[in-house]
Amino acid sequence: MARLQPVRGTHDILPDQMRRHRNVVDVARNVVGLYGFEEVSTPIFEFTQVFARTLGDTSDIVTKEMYSFEDRNGDHLTLRPENTAGVARCFISEGLAQQIPLKYFYAGPMFRRERPQKGRLRQFHQIGIELIGVAGPAADIDVIVAGYRLLSDLGLREQVTLKMNTLGDSESRKKYRDALIAYLTPHLGDLSKESYERFERNPLRILDSKNEGDQKIVADAPELTDFLTEESRVFFDRVKEGLERIGVPYQLNSRLVRGLDYYGHTAFEFTTSALGAQGTVLAGGRYDGLTQLMGGPPTPGVGWAAGVERLAMLKEGDVAKKPIVVLVPLGDMAAAKAQQLAELLRDTGFVVDVGYSGNLSRRMKRADKLNAAVVVIIGEDELARGVAQMRDMKTGEQSEIALDELTTGLAQYR
């Protein structure tokens, strides 16, 4: 019988790695809380139409990557490949339009059947924020600055670069789309199969192609900034000025696009060179047409999402464990007392592990493997005298301590 393995593109997250993941999420939760974002959780699966409608029929996610299935009732369901659509669906179905502006933070697993590579999995985890109901550039600034502060607090400021572009308003994009189609038409036979398929319905996505041939073709394509309305130009100028006032550095990238019509104005991503070719670690933009596309009221929105695995990979060093106190009882009576003492210590905030069995040497080795800060040894003789032996695992020093003074005597290890 073959040895059981996790499904390709998934992995088990063991304690050391889990601490790094949890640290990313906890830092994000604290940082965005400073900006007034509150946590929400949407279902892991939605009706397939939620994603098919919002991500576009020609997107890679919809055509190749979604995990979709039909349940017993004949409903077509999909494991969420991203969470903005779920939050927008929640906004509509929960009738939240009268409560705007809304600031939401989320964290959880997403699912895409893409080719596994460094930092990219088929079950992966994302954190993200959505600011719903604010049409002005101040919202874009807040969202980008929150992302920058998060990366800074994770110690990644020097490893990432903020790249930005404007997609303008619908009038700007229509003019640009027409110009881009006119430019690309003579090159249709030279485009990759994927870009050729995008030409009719999603030509802006061709600008984002990773195919070298496509990149050579679009190198001389017209720039979207040349087609901006005055209103769109002013909007983007205010975003840039806001970031400059706060001190957030950025680079302009005229090829940074979002191919779907409900995206407009600001598009941005934080990238790194430390994770290979797929270097985006946090990305977002403005999606003012999303809720209307889904059948809800026209409502502006802007947000970002970031991959937890990729951020955890970028962080240097291990996330420290809390100091562990290990109780090692020798004998049945000491074992009973140790369990009682362990609860008293936990009541006052200590992390406590009890060595259950084996001789003293084996239990000390286990304590060392747990990276214990201190070991408290209680034998029958110590129990009779109401004391214990306390060994500092870093210095090796051992001293006697009264059992009724454990909480104060161990205070440095809390």
Q: What is the pLDDT of residue 34?
A: 96
3-state secondary structure of 126: strand
Quick check: 348 and 298 in contact, CB under 8 A? no
Q: What is the pLDDT of residue 277?
A: 58
What's the pLDDT tens digit per position in 279-291?
A: 889 999 999 989 9
**What confidence category does residue 137 fall into, taking pLDDT thresholds of 50, 70 and 90?**
very high
Q: Is the pLDDT of residue 114 over 70?
A: yes
Query: How much is the average pLDDT of 108-126?
Result: 81
Residue 150 identity (one-letter amino acid)? L
Q: Which of 242-256, 323-337, 350-364 has the lowest mean pLDDT?
A: 350-364
Q: What is the pLDDT of residue 63?
A: 57
What pTM did the predictor assign? Answer: 0.87
Q: Report the percentage of the chain scoring pLDDT > 70.
A: 94
Domain boundaries, the chain: 15-169+229-314, 324-413
The count of other CB atoms within 10 Å of the CB of residue 132 is 24
Spatial CA neighbour of 261 closest among 32, 55, 52:
55
Higher pLDDT, 356 or 324: 324
Query: How much is the average pLDDT of 295-320?
Result: 88
Higher pLDDT, 413 or 388: 388
* The pair of three-digit structure tokens given for residue 304, joined into one six-digit string: 């970002």
Q: Is the pLDDT of residue 395 over 60?
A: yes
Quick check: 279 and 272 in contact, CB under 8 A? yes
Block residue for tokens 């970002």: 304
3-state secondary structure of 264: strand
Quick check: 184 and 221 in contact, CB under 8 A? yes
Q: What is the pLDDT of residue 219?
A: 87
* The pair of three-digit structure tokens given for residue 90, joined into one six-digit string: 């929640």
Q: Is the pLDDT of residue 119 over 60?
A: no
Architecture of domain 15-169+229-314: 2-Layer Sandwich (3.30)
First to last CA, the chain: 47
Q: Does domain 324-413 have CATH number 3.40.50.800?
A: yes
What's the pLDDT tens digit per position in 183-199?
A: 989 888 888 888 888 88
Higher pLDDT, 148 or 117: 148
Q: Is the pLDDT of residue 15 over 80?
A: yes
Quick check: 346 and 406 in contact, CB under 8 A? no
Higher pLDDT, 88 or 220: 88
Q: What is the pLDDT of residue 300?
A: 95
Q: What CA–CA distance (Å, rounded) separates 176 from 224?
A: 6
Q: What is the pLDDT of residue 79?
A: 93
Q: What is the pLDDT of residue 317?
A: 63
Q: Which of 205-209, 304-308, 316-320 has the lowest mean pLDDT?
A: 316-320
